[in-house]
Structure 1
Amino acid sequence: MRKIIKFMRRNYKIIIPIILLAGVLFGFQIKKVYDQNEEDRLKISIIRYVLKNLHYEPHRIDNEFSETFYDNFLNSLDPSKRYFTQEDIDEFSMYKTLLDNQIKQEDLTFFKLVDNRYKKRIAEAKTYYVDILAKPFDFKEKETFDIDYENRPYREGTEGVKERWRKQLKASVLSSLYDSEELQKNKEKDGEEFEKKSRKDLEKEARESVKNNMERYFEFLDELDHNQSFSIYLNAMTMVFDPHTNYLTPKSKEDFDVGISGTFEGIGARLSREKDYTKVVELISGGPAWKDGKLEAGDIILKVGQGEEEPVDIVGMRLSNAIEYIKGKKGTEVRLTVKKIDGSVEIIPIIRDEVELEETFAKSSTVEMNGNMYGVINLPKFYIDFKEDDKRTAATDMKHEVESLKAQGVKGLVIDLRNNGGGSLSTAIDIAGLFIDKGPVVQVKYRDKSPNVKFDQSEGIVWDGPLVILVNELSASASEILAAAMQDYKRAVIIGSKQTFGKGTVQTLYSLNQAYNYPKPLGDLKVTIQKFYRINGGSTQLRGVSSDIVIPDRYQFMDIGERDQENPLPWDMIEAASYNTWKGYTNYDEVIKQSQKEINKNSYFDLINKNARWLKDIQNDNTVYLNYDDYVKDVDKRDAESKEFDGIKDFKTELQFKSPTYELPLIAVDTILGDKRKNWHKNLAKDIYVDEALKVLEKLKVKSPKLVQN
C-alpha cells in the first residue's frame, strides 16, 4: 500500500486524466495488430479518442481540420520548399479536405503517398548537391536568394527544385568563403605567420566543406525510420489542436524524461526547430551556456563543431539529430556557429558540463541605495521534487531567503522572474502566500468543468513591505501565475517587458499503451488538459501579464511568445474569484505613473527601443546576396548600423551587491560558491533592469501594519 500511495503522490498530475479516460476507453476495442499498417492505425485511433475526450478544447474533425493538418504535414517535411515540386503539391491537393475522413477511417493513403514521394525527392536531391558543388561558383553574377520560405512558392519540375538547391548551396559556400577571408585578414592584422591562400583556393575549400556537411545531412535523413516518419504525420495532426499537444515516440519519450529529470549533460540549453533551423529557446540556469553568457535565447545554431574538427552544418537537420551533435560528454568542447538576432554570425566555444542544480535554486543579494538596504531574489524555476516530501522546493527556499533578508533589515524586495519558464503550480501558490494573508491565487479549469480556485492556505504574511517583480517575454506559466496574482491584489509592482510569454495551459502525458495492451511501446501523447485563469477572471493564455511599468528591451518586437506559436488556444475570461486588493501602499498608482514617465524620457531606454526595432527589421530582411561584393556590402552595412547601439553594453552602476549573512560562512569554506556569487553580483551592478526595479522599490511606501487591511 505504501508503494501505491507513493506512486499516486508522484504521479498525481496524470492520475486524474487517466481516471477521466477510463469510462471513455472502457470497451475501446481494436482487433489484434499483426503488421506495421495496423500499428499505425492503432496509434491514430487511440490518439483521436484521447484528443476528443481529454483535450481542453478539442478541434472538430472537419474540413477546416483537414486543411490545417494538410499544411502542417507538408511544412513539417519540407519547410524550405526544396524537395517537393509544384506538380507534387498539385497531386497532393486533392486530399486537402479529405484528411478528416481518412483520420476517422484510419486510412493511410495520404501519408503513404507523401512519405514515398518525399523519400524519392530526397534521393534526387543527393545527386543535385554533388553536381552543383563539383564546379566553382561565379560570385560576380548579380543574383539574390529569398529565405522567406513560408511565402515563397514551390518550384516547377525537378529543374526548378535543382535551381533552388543551387542558390542555397551557393549561399552556404559564399558564407564559408567570406568567413575564411575574414580569418586571413585578422591573422594578418595580428601579425600571425600563415600560408595565405587565394580566393580561388578558399572557394574550393568552402565547396568541399559544404559538400561534407551535405553528406552528413543526408546520412541523417537516410537513418530516418518509419516510426520517426509517422510521428511527423501524427504531430501534424496534434498541432491542429494546439502547439503543446504532441505525440512522442518511445525514443522521444526517453529524451523527454531526461529533460525533466533535472540532470543535464551538455551545453545546458533548450532547443526547438523553427522551419529549417535549430533555435535556442531557453538557457538552463547553472549550465555551461548560461555561465558563458554568449549564447542567448533567440539565437539560431547554424553549425556544430567538435573542438578543432570541421563543423557540421545543421541547417535543415531534424532537431533530434542536431541535438546529437550538440550534446556530449562533460569536459569536451563544442563550437557553435550561431546567427545572432542582429543578423551577425559568431562562433561560440562551450565546454560541456553538467548543470549544477545549485544554480537552479533561489538565491538572494542585498544592496545599499541612498542609505537604505534592499533585497534582490533570483528565482530561475518553480522547482519541486514529487518523489521526496522533505526535499527543498522553490517555496521553502523563497521563504528562507525572504526571512533572511527581513532579519537583515531590508526595506524592500525585488523578485527576479526573468527567463523563468515556470514549473510547479503548488510552489507558485505557496510563494504568493508569503506576501498575502490567505486568499485565492489562481483558477484552474478543465474543459466543461467549473473552475477550481486554488487558495493560499498559510496564516499571515511573511513579508509586508514594498515588493517589485521583474519579468520579461520569457517569464512563463507559473511565473505568470505569481506575477498575475501579485498584480491583481496590487501587492507588487510588475516591471519589465510589455507582456510575459503567455502560456496559460497545462499538459499531461498519456501512454498509448494504457488504452491498448500491445506488446511494443506505442509512444505517449502530451495533451493540453487545463487552462489557467487569473483571480480577476482573465486567462494568462496569449496575453500573459502586462507589466505595470514597461521597459523597452531588445526582444520586444521578436516572435517569441505563445501568440507567435502555431494554433495557440485563444484568450478568454471566466468569472472573477472573490478577493480584496491589498491596502498596504500609500502611493502605488503614483509610483507606477511617475516611473513610467521617467523611463519614457530616458535616452538609454530610447536607444534600446531603437535597437529592438532595428533587430526586427533585420529579422524581416529575407534577401541573401549571392554576389560577393554585394554580400560584403550588406555585412558591412549591418556592422556599421550596429555600432550605433554599442553604448547599450556600457551601462553600469556603483551599487555594491552582497550575499546575505547566512551565506557568508558557506562562502568562507567554498571558494567556488564565492566566485559564482561574485560574478552574479558583478552582473547585477551592470543590469539596468535591476537598477530600475530598485528605483521603483525605493519610491514605494507602505502604511503602518496596524493600518493595513487585506
Structure 2
Amino acid sequence: MSPLAHMGRTMALLAALLLATGVALAQPEPTDDQRRAATEMAEALRYGHYADISLDDNWSRRAFERYLDVLDSQRAFLTEQDVAEFLPLEKQLDDALLDGELAPFFALYQRYHERAEARFEWLLEHLDQGLDFTYEGDQRLELDREDVPWAESTQALDELWTRRLKNAALTLVISGQDDEQVESNLRQRYEGQLNRLRQTNEEDIFGLLMAAVTGSIDPHTGYLSPRQGESFDIQMRLSLEGIGALLQADGEYVKVASLVPGGPAERAGVLEPADRIVGVGQEDGDMVNVVGMRLDSVVELIRGPKGSVVRLDVVPAQAVDMTRSREVRITRDTVKLEDQAAQSEVLELERDDGVHRVGVITVPTFYVDFDAWQAGEDNYRSTTRDVAKEIETLQNQGVEGIVLDLRNNGGGALQEANSLIGLFIDRGPTVQVRDARGRISLYGDTETGAVYDGPLTVLVNRLSASASEIFAGAIQDYGRGLVVGTPTFGKGTVQTLNELSHGEIKLTRAKFYRISGESTQHRGVEPDIIFPSLVDPELIGESSLDNALDWDTVRSVQYREYGEPWRFLETLRARHRERADTHPNFVYLEQQAELNRRMREETTSVSLNRELRQAETEALEAEQLALENQRREALGLEPLEEWIDARGEEDDSDQEKEEEEPVEQVQVLEAAHILLDHSQLENNYRFAHRE
C-alpha cells in the first residue's frame, strides 16, 4: 500500500474512533446564501409552478423519501436504524424550506457520507487482502433494490456488498481480465468513488437536497447552482464541444437518453438511447471507470476541445450482462445548423398497379437561426422555410404524397412547430398553452393557403417529443393526414429559467394541449397505426420519469377537419398487418422488441456462478443470433456465425456492406405504403360519394 493510501486509511480509522468515543466531527452547515435560496425556491414552487403545490406535511413526506432516494437509491449504505434516527424530519422539510433551516438535512447527508466513506474503505481493505472468490454455488445478486426495505444491520450490508464485489469481479473476469487487472480496475473504481465523495462540499449537499425538493414535484423542475447556471447548455447536453448526447443518471450508471440531431454521436452511429456508459477515456489515455460517478463529473470527462477524440466503454441497451461492453470512439465537434437541416428523398415503391413515387422529408429538429431572424435578414434558415423548399423540390419530381419523418426529433422552437403546421393547412389554431393560473393562450397559423395539400403521413417514434408532438397531434386532429410509428415521448410541459439570489430554478410554468383539448403530457401522441419499437418505454419517455405530471384535457377549440382518416383505419391496419407479417425486417423488429420486453421483466438478478452466468448470457446471445439470421435468410443475406454488436467498429463487416436496407428503414417504406393505401381509399370514397 502506498504511503498516501495508508495515511487515508489511518484518517478513516481516526474518524471512526472519534465517533465511537463521542467526539463529534465537523458537520457541514448550509451557508446564508443557501438558506435564502431555499426560501426563494419554496416561494417559486408555491406561486410559480404550473401545478397547485402545497408545501405541507404530505408533501414533506414525499420529498423526504425522495431525499433518501437521492442519497441512497439502492439501499446500500444506510441501515434501518440510520433512517429511523432521522425519521422525525419527514414532517419538517416543508417548514425547513420555508424558513431556510436546512442544518438537520445536512446532518442526514453527513450520516450517509460517513456510511459511504466507511463502505469504500471496507471494499479497499478487501482488495488489500486479495480476492479469493470461487464463482460457484447458487448465489445471485438482486439488480434493483429501490423498493427493498432498509438493511437491519451493518452485517446485512456486509453480505450485500460482498455479493456486489463478487459480481464486479466476475464481470471483469468474464470479460477476459486476469486477477491483477481485476484488482487494479476495482481499486481504481472504489478509490475514485471515495475521492469524489471526500471532495463533496456544502454546495453539492445543497444541490442534492434541492434535487429531492424539485424532483418530488416533477422531473423537469430543478435547481441549478451558480456553476451550473453559468453553462446551462452543458448540463447533461453535450452539444457545444462534446459528443451531442443527452445523458441522465440511472442508478450507478449514466444512460444515454437521446442523441442531438446532427451531432457527433448520431453521425458516428455508435450510441443508441438507453445505452449505458461505464468508462470514459481520452484519445490515448487510460479508460476511467465511471460506474458510480456523478453525472456532472461524467459530463466533464466527455467534454473536450473540438476535433479531439473521446473513447467510451458502452454497454448496449439490450444487454443484461454488464460484461458485454464495447469501446467506441467519437470525435468531438460542434453541431452546425446545416447538420440539423431538413432533407428530402424520393422513394420508388413497386406495387401491383405499377411504380409509385413518394417523397420523404426528414426533420431532425425544429430550428431557427434566431440571430439572423432578429437581425431582419431575408434568407434566415428555419425548419419551416427549409421544409417548404423540400416540398417544392419533391412536387417538381412528381411525387404522389409526402412522408414527414419526425423520428428522434426531440423538439425545439415552438414557433417553428406552429408555422410548420401552417404549410399543410389553410389557417387555423395549432396548439393551446395553459399557464399556472389556468389561463389558456391559443396559437395558430394566420397565413392564407397551404403550401402542400396532398396526401400526408407523419412518422414518429418514442424519441419524438415536445414540438414534434404538437405537430403530429395537430395533423391528426385536423384529419390532415395519418400519424404512424410508435407512441411519442409525452413531454408536454414548458419550463422557464428564473434567477435566485444564489443559483437559478428551472420551473415548469405551463402545459401544452392539442386543439382537440387533449394534453400531449405523459401519454404523448398515439399513432393511428402502431409499429414495433426497440426503444423500451419503461426506460425512455415521460412515463418512465418519476413524478411526471398527469395527462388531462381542456376544452377543445373550433377547427375544420380536412379529412376523415378514421373511416379507413380498419382497412389500413389490415393491409399494414399483411405486409408487416411477411416483411423480414418488420418481423425482426417485432420479435426483438418482444425479446427486449421479456428480458427486462425476467432479469431481476444475475448469477454469481461463473458457468451459469456465461450460460445465461450465451443463451440470450443465441436467441438474438437466431432472430438476426432468420431475418438475413429471408433477405437472401449470408448468416452470421456469432452475435456481434457491430456499432462502433471502424471497418464495416462484409455482412454489413451487403445489407441493402437497414432494419429501421422498413418503417419509412411502410409509412409510404400506408400513405398510398390511404390516398387510394380516400379517392375511392370520394368517387363513390360524389354528388
Which position in structure 1 is the counterpart of 2:610?
A: 628
Which position in structure 2 is the counterpart of 1:456?
A: 445
Which position in structure 2 is the counterpart of 1:465?
A: 454
Change (3 A) 1:120 1:260: closer
Change (3 A) 1:36 1:69: closer
For residues 647-697 of structure 1, the C-alpha deviation after alignment (integer angstroms, 9 at most, x for no partner) is: 48749999xxxxxxxxxxxxxxxxxxxxxxxx9x97679611011011112
Change (3 A) 1:653 1:405: farther
Which position in structure 1 is the counterpart of 2:328?
A: 349
Query: Is 2:589 aligned against 1:608?
Result: yes
Which position in structure 2 is the counterpart of 1:691?
A: 669
For residues 281-316 of structure 1, the C-alpha deviation after alignment (integer angstroms, 9 at most, x for no partner) is: 111222222122231001111222334544222121
- TM-score using structure 2 length: 0.84
Which position in structure 2 is the counterpart of 1:559?
A: 539
Query: Is 2:627 aligned against 1:645?
Result: yes
Which position in structure 1 is the counterpart of 2:131?
A: 136
Selected match of 2:509 from 508, 525, 529: 529
Q: CA deviation at 1:79?
A: 1.8
Which position in structure 1 is the counterpart of 2:383?
A: 394
For residues 541-582 of structure 1, the C-alpha deviation after alignment (integer angstroms, 9 at most, x for no partner) is: 111110001111222553312112111111111110101110
Deviates more, 1:334-343 or 1:291-300: 334-343
Q: Percent identity?
A: 33
Deviates more, 1:48-57 or 1:337-346: 337-346
Structure 2 CA distance for aligned equivalents of residues 295 and 586 of structure 1: 37
SS of equivalent residue, structure 1 residue 377: strand
Change (3 A) 1:651 1:304: farther
Selected match of 1:700 from 678, 681, 689: 678
Change (3 A) 1:207 1:217: same
Selected match of 2:415 from 399, 411, 426: 426
Which position in structure 2 is the counterpart of 1:149?
A: 145
Q: CA deviation at 1:221?
A: 2.2
SS of equivalent residue, structure 1 residue 265: coil
Query: Is 2:598 aligned against 1:617?
Result: yes
For residues 596-651 of structure 1, the C-alpha deviation after alignment (integer angstroms, 9 at most, x for no partner) is: 44356446444433322321232231212222222212221221222232148749
What RMSD over aligned residues (CA atoms) do the two structures have, in Å?
Answer: 2.8
Q: Residue type of the partner of 1:594? A: A
Structure 2 CA distance for aligned equivalents of residues 44 and 682 of structure 1: 58
For residues 258-280 of structure 1, the C-alpha deviation after alignment (integer angstroms, 9 at most, x for no partner) is: 46999522222110012222000
SS of equivalent residue, structure 2 residue 495: strand
Q: Residue type of the partner of 1:359? A: D
Q: Residue type of the partner of 1:524? A: E
In the alignment, structure 1 segments of 5+ residues that lack a partner are 1-34, 182-201, 514-521, 655-678
Q: Residue type of the partner of 1:165? A: W
- TM-score using structure 1 length: 0.82
Q: Residue type of the partner of 2:194? A: F
Q: CA deviation at 1:587?
A: 7.2
Q: CA deviation at 1:210?
A: 1.1
Which position in structure 1 is the counterpart of 2:111?
A: 117
Structure 1 CA distance for aligned equivalents of residues 405 and 173 of structure 2: 44
Query: Is 2:38 aligned against 1:38?
Result: no
Which position in structure 2 is the counterpart of 1:539?
A: 519
Selected match of 2:86 from 87, 92, 96: 92
Q: Residue type of the partner of 1:384? A: V
Which position in structure 1 is the counterpart of 2:490?
A: 502
Q: CA deviation at 1:352?
A: 2.1
Which position in structure 2 is the counterpart of 1:6?
A: none
Question: Retained in 2: the 8 A contact 1:684–1:690?
Answer: no
Question: Retained in 2: the 8 A contact 1:468–1:493?
Answer: yes
Q: Residue type of the partner of 1:386? A: F
Structure 2 CA distance for aligned equivalents of residues 83 and 544 of structure 1: 38
Structure 1 CA distance for aligned equivalents of residues 285 and 570 of structure 2: 59
Which position in structure 2 is the counterpart of 1:288?
A: 264
Query: Is 2:373 aligned against 1:367?
Result: no
Matches within 5 A, 1:590-605: 592-598=572-578, 601-602=581-582, 604=584, 605=586
Question: Retained in 2: the 8 A contact 1:56–1:528?
Answer: yes
Q: Residue type of the partner of 2:427? A: K
Matches within 5 A, 1:6-405: 36-134=30-128, 135-142=130-137, 143-180=139-176, 202-258=178-234, 263-307=239-283, 309-343=285-319, 345-357=324-336, 358-370=338-350, 371-389=355-373, 390=377, 391-405=380-394
Matches within 5 A, 1:547-586: 547-556=527-536, 558-583=538-563
Change (3 A) 1:264 1:60: same
Structure 2 CA distance for aligned equivalents of residues 227 and 593 of structure 1: 55
Deviates more, 1:583-592 or 1:51-60: 583-592
Structure 2 CA distance for aligned equivalents of residues 41 and 683 of structure 1: 59
SS of equivalent residue, structure 1 residue 502: coil
Which position in structure 1 is the counterpart of 2:467?
A: 478
Change (3 A) 1:441 1:682: farther
Question: Retained in 1: the 8 A contact 2:237–2:245?
Answer: no
Q: Residue type of the partner of 1:353? A: R
Q: CA deviation at 1:489?
A: 0.7
For residues 356-405 of structure 1, the C-alpha deviation after alignment (integer angstroms, 9 at most, x for no partner) is: 42221111112222333221111111112333313311111111111221
Question: Retained in 2: the 8 A contact 1:285–1:355?
Answer: no
Question: Retained in 1: the 8 A contact 2:30–2:102?
Answer: no
Q: Residue type of the partner of 2:627? A: F
Q: Residue type of the partner of 1:571? A: W
Structure 1 CA distance for aligned equivalents of residues 435 and 566 of structure 2: 39
Structure 1 CA distance for aligned equivalents of residues 126 and 395 of structure 2: 69
Deviates more, 1:307-316 or 1:227-236: 307-316
SS of equivalent residue, structure 1 residue 506: strand
Q: CA deviation at 1:41?
A: 1.4
Change (3 A) 1:356 1:48: closer
Q: Residue type of the partner of 1:372? A: H
Equivalent pairs, count: 620
Structure 2 CA distance for aligned equivalents of residues 140 and 172 of structure 1: 12
